[in-house]
Amino acid sequence: MTFANKSNEIFDRVVGLYHDTDDVDAVFNNPFDAQDIDGKLACKCWIDAVQWHLEDIIRDEMIDPVEALAIKRRIDRSNQDRTDLVEEIDSHFRQLYAGVTVLPGATINTESPAWAIDRLSILALKIWHMREQTLRNDADHEHIARCQAKLDVLLEQRADLTTAIDQLLDDIAAGRKFMKVYRQMKMYNDPETNPVLYGKK
């Protein structure tokens, strides 16, 4: 099984596990070793699933502003955790391909493997929730048809992205492409670079 296909299986499993409770405060019992790449992929998808539902909650127009602010802070922390984990996954690839001889004329990709895999995780969530819309008993036929059409596009998008990721990994392994990872230097979470935060010192 290719790496991208394995990732899809892990992401679908984790999205299903999240919906067993459908609770943003549920404890994640990682079915894989958290130190292995499979465990990191699973943890990354759990973060995405929780954040997806926090984004739903915060859009309630009747939400208490204090609660909304607390959720916004939680989403900020989640974004940082997600970024950190994606960078850990990229470190896995850098170690995996450290001994590859880069061929003359090798090119760089627009994004690193882990950030492409990040999009597979989000697609797993989109597919789950769009499929859920096609199964609603309280929606009209037009709604169901629109959502089915969107689901078909999402499934095609996932197939294309899966192929592209595996091709990228094959190219890196063969030296036709090379990895160059830029760390996500998020400034708003850093009290040394966010002027609102360091201005209060």
Residue type, 167: Q
Rounded distance between C-alpha atoms, residue 114 and residue 181, angstroms: 10
What is the residue extent of each domain of the chain? 3-189
- Of 124 and 196, more confident: 124
One-character DSSP codes across 98-145: TTPPPPTT-EE-SS-HHHHHHHHHHHHHHHHHHHHHHT-SSS-HHHHH
Q: Residue 124's pLDDT band (boundaries 50, 70, 90)?
A: very high
pLDDT in tens, 48-97: 999 999 999 999 999 999 999 999 999 999 999 999 999 999 999 999 99
Burial of 110 (0-12, 13-18, 19+ CB in 10 A): exposed
Is the per-residue pLDDT at 195 higher than 90? no
Please give the model's pTM, rounded to 2 decimal places. 0.90
